[in-house]
Amino acid sequence: MAPNISELVKKAREELSKITGLELSATLGAAREDLGWKIILEMIEKHSIPDQMDILAIYEAILDDEGNLIEFNRKGLRRRLDTETSEIV
């Protein structure tokens, strides 16, 4: 049986954290695409004091229909306090 979307998101979060060594900040999106599932995650690239100065990275993870990570790419960086003004992915 194919995994449901919540299982796919959980798998992407676990795999990306393991591969990059970064801490997850948030899940930003998930969508079915031609190659499989695209999961957009925000990871903490660098902790800072105060927290608002943390550097966050936006990652795109592609999983196949069985939930295997087949590709990932960093799409952008921002400081936590910066608001997003355009679509990154």
pLDDT digits over 8-57, tens only? 999 999 999 999 999 999 999 999 998 899 999 999 999 888 878 889 99
Distances (CA, A) of 39 to 18, 19, 42, 47: 16, 15, 10, 23
Task: Tell me whether residue 39 is in a domain.
Answer: yes
| This prediction's pTM | 0.84
Task: Tell me whether residue 24 is in a domain.
Answer: yes
What is the number of structural domains in the chain?
Answer: 1
Query: Each residue of 43-54: b (16+ CB within 10 Å) or e?
Result: bbbeeeeeeeeb
**In Å, how far from its chain's centre is CA 76?**
11
Quick one: pLDDT at residue 10?
Answer: 95
Q: Which domain holds residue 49?
A: 5-79
How does residue 3 score in pLDDT terms, banded at 50, 70 and 90?
confident
